[in-house]
């Protein structure tokens, strides 16, 4: 039915290409492109699909992207390289008449700042071109936003309190590693925290607030308040929300490593001079840390990510918890990648499927919670990320 261009051969890209290849009726032709083409070649060696090819691309180079898109003529680009490339890929999509999907909002390289304003500014241009851009279609953002839309549609008249809880209860056996791109991950978690309360953002120090939360099938874990990008679109799209927060678990060993990394300056994003060469400390650190794509082999345990929600239904207060648990081992057996890549890549494939089958298709730039959550929720169950829900539960938050 449709040709798709997938950009970015990391852990997430590996899952996206594997999952798309399982649906050749929808993704009839796949071009898998990344900066290092040998990574694409290695991944597709193990993939069974009648029409799959690879290419080298620098996704920060708009003319190169335009050339690639004009020759392959995809209907959609699934962008799972890095957030630095969101705008260049959107520009090329506009020039070539191609729809767009990503899993992380744009971030300038020289400032760790996550907000949708840059991409929302493309709204009129996408509308006028008759093209759609679907933003943040991974797990968080992505499924957490769809869980919220599902809760708003089926469980509440008004959502008042939203707490997104993200636990990685897995163990990869390494002293220190990040579960997705280390540079992006460390930039994100070392920022000041932020949450929404009574119509405004409240800023916190990094790791200032901690709660012990109990996660299904995992147990109690220290969970820290962070800023996370889906909060921005969710409070806009669900204006009854009085407070929205995001919590992520971190072990003490991880936090100790992180503190040392910061204290010795290795989390810096300003270039420094080293023997006459400019290097960015955090980029150098990425080069010596384990590749997140290589963590799958011995990864045991599960992730558990969900939304804990309090609000009003039929005039009465109601609590609701919706979540998914994903086994690192099962993810690895199916796709060769660990659970964090899996929980990001599967929703990206489903979002692409929603667009290409016209279930979610309208010109403009959208966040995932702006569409009907029902067909997406069904596909989560069918394609590897089954979800659970409980009503009237103690939310602990
Ligand atoms: P990786 O670092 O493993 O992979 C990124 C890939 O992108 C690499 O193969 C890299 O190529 C490629 N790449 C980098 N720069 C360019 C460029 N200029 N042109 C072309 N390709 C490039 O990251 P992950 O797979 O772990 O994560 C991918 C994305 O998913 C990130 O944007 C991350 O923020 C997002 N994410 C979203 C989540 C969600 O739930 N919404 C959760 C986790 C991740 P090379 O190897 O040659 O450098």
DSSP of 260-322? HHHHTTTT--S-EEETTEEE-HHHHHHHHSPPGGG-GGG-BSEEEEEEEEEEEETTEEEEEEE
Atom of ligand 1 nearest to the CA of 293: 3
CA distance 308 to 151: 10
Residue 58 alpha carbon to ligand 1 centre in Å: 12
Q: What's residue 122's pLDDT?
A: 98
Residue 80 alpha carbon to ligand 1 centre in Å: 5
Q: Are 331 and 296 in contact (CB under 8 A)?
A: yes
CATH of the domain at 131: 3.40.50.720
CA distance 122 to 190: 29
Same domain, yes or no: 310 and 237: yes
- Name every protein residue with a CB atom under 6 angstroms from any ligand 1 atom: 7-13, 34-36, 39, 57-60, 80-83, 85, 103-104, 138-142, 180-181, 184, 292-293, 340-341, 344
32: in domain: yes
Q: Please compute the mean of the pLDDT values over residues 315-339 and round it to a whole number.
A: 97
Q: What's residue 161's pLDDT?
A: 98
Question: Crossing angle for the helix pair 182-189 and 252-263, nearest 10 degrees?
Answer: 90
Residue 321 alpha carbon to ligand 1 centre in Å: 30
Residue 184 alpha carbon to ligand 1 centre in Å: 9
Instruction: Decide if pLDDT at 297 tops 80.
Output: yes
Same domain, yes or no: 128 and 160: no
Residue 241 alpha carbon to ligand 1 centre in Å: 32
Same domain, yes or no: 12 and 53: yes
Atom of ligand 1 nearest to the CA of 36: 47
Q: What's residue 201's pLDDT?
A: 98
Same domain, yes or no: 175 and 244: yes
Pocket test for ligand 1, best of 180, 292, 339, 349 (most atoms within 8 A of CB): 180
Same domain, yes or no: 11 and 115: yes
| 101 φ, ψ (degrees, to nearest 5) | -145, 140
Report CA dihedral (149, 150, 153, 154) to the nearest 10 degrees: -160
Residue 102 alpha carbon to ligand 1 centre in Å: 11
Candidates 119, 123, 70; CA nearest to 93 is 70
Task: Please enumerate in sequence order all residues whose Cβ is within 8 A of that of 25, keeping only pairs 6 or more positions apart, or say none.
Answer: 1
Residue 238 CB neighbours (<10 A) = 21
pLDDT tens digits, one per residue of 240-275? 999 999 999 999 999 999 999 999 999 999 999 999
pLDDT tens digits, one per residue of 164-177? 999 999 999 999 99
Instruction: Count up the domains in the chain and report the number.
Output: 2
CA distance 350 to 103: 12
Q: What percent of the chain is modeled with pLDDT above 70?
A: 100
Q: Are 144 and 376 in contact (CB under 8 A)?
A: no
Tokens of 272: 């420094």
Residue 163 alpha carbon to ligand 1 centre in Å: 27
pLDDT tens digits, one per residue of 212-244? 999 999 999 999 999 999 999 999 999 999 999
pLDDT tens digits, one per residue of 174-226? 999 998 888 889 988 988 999 999 999 999 999 999 999 999 999 999 999 99
Q: What's residue 292's pLDDT?
A: 87
The residue out of 103, 135, 167 marking a domain boundary is 135
CA distance 396 to 308: 9
Instruction: Decide if pLDDT at 388 tops 80.
Output: yes
Pocket test for ligand 1, best of 38, 40, 55, 81 (most atoms within 8 A of CB): 81
Strands (E), 80-218: 99-102, 132-135, 158-168, 193-197, 200-204, 210-215
Q: What's residue 219's pLDDT?
A: 98
> Domain of 42?
2-135
To which H or E segment does residue 77 belong? strand 76-79
Q: Are 84 and 54 in contact (CB under 8 A)?
A: no
Atom of ligand 1 nearest to the CA of 291: 3
Count helices and strands (H / E) in the chain: 14, 18
Task: Give the residue whose CA is nearest to atom 44 of ligand 1.
Answer: 180
CATH of the domain at 328: 3.30.360.10
Same domain, yes or no: 257 and 219: yes
Q: What's residue 261's pLDDT?
A: 95
């Amino acid at each position: 039915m449709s040709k798709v261009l997938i950009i970015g051969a990391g852990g997430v890209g590996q899952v996206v290409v594997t999952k798309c290849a399982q649906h050749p009726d929808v993704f009839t032709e796949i071009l898998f492109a990344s900066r290092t083409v040998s990574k694409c070649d290695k991944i597709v060696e193990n993939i069974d699909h009648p029409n799959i090819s690879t290419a080298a691309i620098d996704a920060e180079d708009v003319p190169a992207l335009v050339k690639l898109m004009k020759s392959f003529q995809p209907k959609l680009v699934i962008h799972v390289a890095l957030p630095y490339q969101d705008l260049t890929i959107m520009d090329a999509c506009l020039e070539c008449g191609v729809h767009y999907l990503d899993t992380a909002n744009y971030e300038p390289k020289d400032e760790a700042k996550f907000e949708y304003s840059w991409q929302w500014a493309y709204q009129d241009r996408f509308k006028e071109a008759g093209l759609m851009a679907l933003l943040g279609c991974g797990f968080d953002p992505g499924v957490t936003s769809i869980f919220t839309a599902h809760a708003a549609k089926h469980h509440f008249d008004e959502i008042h309190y939203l707490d997104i809880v993200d636990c990685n209860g897995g163990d990869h056996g390494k002293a220190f590693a990040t579960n997705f791109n280390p540079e992006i991950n460390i930039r994100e978690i070392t920022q000041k925290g932020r949450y929404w309360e009574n119509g405004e953002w409240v800023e916190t120090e990094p790791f200032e607030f901690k709660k012990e939360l109990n996660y299904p099938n995992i147990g109690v874990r220290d969970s820290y308040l962070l800023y996370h990008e889906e909060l921005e679109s969710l409070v806009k799209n669900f204006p009854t929300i009085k407070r929205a927060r995001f919590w992520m678990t971190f072990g003490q060993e991880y936090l100790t490593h992180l503190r040392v990394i910061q204290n010795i300056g290795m989390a810096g994003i300003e270039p420094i001079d080293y023997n006459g060469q400019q290097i960015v400390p955090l980029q150098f650190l990425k080069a010596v840390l384990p590749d997140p794509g290589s963590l799958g082999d011995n990864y045991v345990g599960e992730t558990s990510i969900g939304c804990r929600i309090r609000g009003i239904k039929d005039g009465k207060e109601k609590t609701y918890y919706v979540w998914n648990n994903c086994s690192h081992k099962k993810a690895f057996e199916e796709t060769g990648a660990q659970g964090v890549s899996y929980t990001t890549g599967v929703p990206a494939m489903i979002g692409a499927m929603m667009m290409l089958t016209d279930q979610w298709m309208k010109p403009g730039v959208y966040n995932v919670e702006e569409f009907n959550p029902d067909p997406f929720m069904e596909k989560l169950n069918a394609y590897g990320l089954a979800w659970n829900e409980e009503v009237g539960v103690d939310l602990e938050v």
